[in-house]
Amino acid sequence: MKKTIFTGAGVAIITPFTEDNKVNFDELGRIIDNQIENGTDAIIICGTTGEGSTLTHEEHAATIDFAVKHTAKRIPVIAGTGSNDTDYAVKLSNEAEKSGVDGLLMVTPYYNKTSQAGLIRQYEYINDRVSTPIILYNVPSRTGMTIKPETYYELSKFSNIVATKEASGDISAVAQIAALCGDNLDIYSGNDDQITAIMSLGGKGVISVLSNVAPKVAHDIADLYLKGECEASRKLQLEYLDLCNDLFVDVNPIPVKEAMNMIGWNVGDVRMPLAPMNAAAREKLRASLARHGLVK
């Protein structure tokens, strides 16, 4: 059995920007503190929700380093260091390791994609060049490819690959992955509307967008299940299903950053090529936040 990086709800944290589109480290620090105070179990920095793909290399490294130092070992910090350039993924990962991260979130190659054999080749190459636990990230809607259950089985044999963030939405595939890999691969839900469902198959928790705006709720959905209070977890999951869905009324992280600004944080805009929400989508999101008492 491999070591589990965290159980419960890790936040796929946004990257706040200033008015002149620079990383707002002061606000990021406040957000990290708020997450920890409200029960978040891990910080996932510079992932999809953190707009890692539009951060410069220097910004990417600096943001990871800041998150590690500011979190100060209170909870684990996992850095998004995946790339469709295998050598660059290793470079980013090694720099994150120097900062002291607890885990590496490693998305599958996008755009150029690869075969299942290519996936195994890429991840073996990275595995042998890092010393930090790796969480795979399977998100076909973003990358145009998926990790098949049989491939997961092969990847789970690598010493540093300890978990996956499953955002395929395919519960049947998750069941197959759990059956094939057992204790050699922890599974985290990559979709907030499937936390309880994936945990019922043995998942360890969630890497959550919802947690940005409702950290205690995301934590409690997972924590209740871990405590054996499965019915309470299910009820809370369904109670917040509308907000989970409305945070994806536009391309992530457009809605969640808009929601945080509505709540009172100062997280700035998304970077291009992302664009602000239209008025109808914004009103739908505000109504959802209001139903749950997050805005007036």
In whole angstroms, how large is the CA radius of gyration of the chain?
A: 18
Q: Are 247 and 256 in contact (CB under 8 A)?
A: yes
CA-to-CA distance for 24 and 30, rounded, in angstroms?
10
202 in any annotated domain: yes
245 in any annotated domain: no
Q: Are 137 and 50 in contact (CB under 8 A)?
A: no
150 in any annotated domain: yes
Domain membership of residue 179 as a residue range: 8-229
89 in any annotated domain: yes
CA-to-CA distance for 65 and 73, rounded, in angstroms?
13
Please state the domain count of the chain: 1
36 in any annotated domain: yes
Whether 257 is catalytic = no
281 in any annotated domain: no
Position 1 scores a pLDDT of 73
- Give the Å distances, CA to CA, from 62 to 45, 91, 92: 11, 14, 11
Instruction: Summarize the confidence of residues 77-99 as an average pLDDT.
Output: 98
Q: Are 282 and 258 in contact (CB under 8 A)?
A: yes
265 in any annotated domain: no
CA-to-CA distance for 60 and 71, rounded, in angstroms?
17
CATH number at residue 200: 3.20.20.70
Whether 137 is catalytic = yes
Instruction: Summarize the confidence of residues 243-252 as an average pLDDT.
Output: 98
Of the candidates 73, 88, 123, 137, the residue annotated as catalytic is 137
Which pLDDT band, with edges at 50, 70 and 90, does 296 fall under?
confident
Question: Tell me: the pLDDT tens digits for 110-157?
Answer: 999 999 999 999 999 999 999 999 999 999 999 999 999 999 999 999
Of the candidates 123, 152, 165, 240, the residue annotated as catalytic is 165
148 in any annotated domain: yes
Position 270 scores a pLDDT of 98
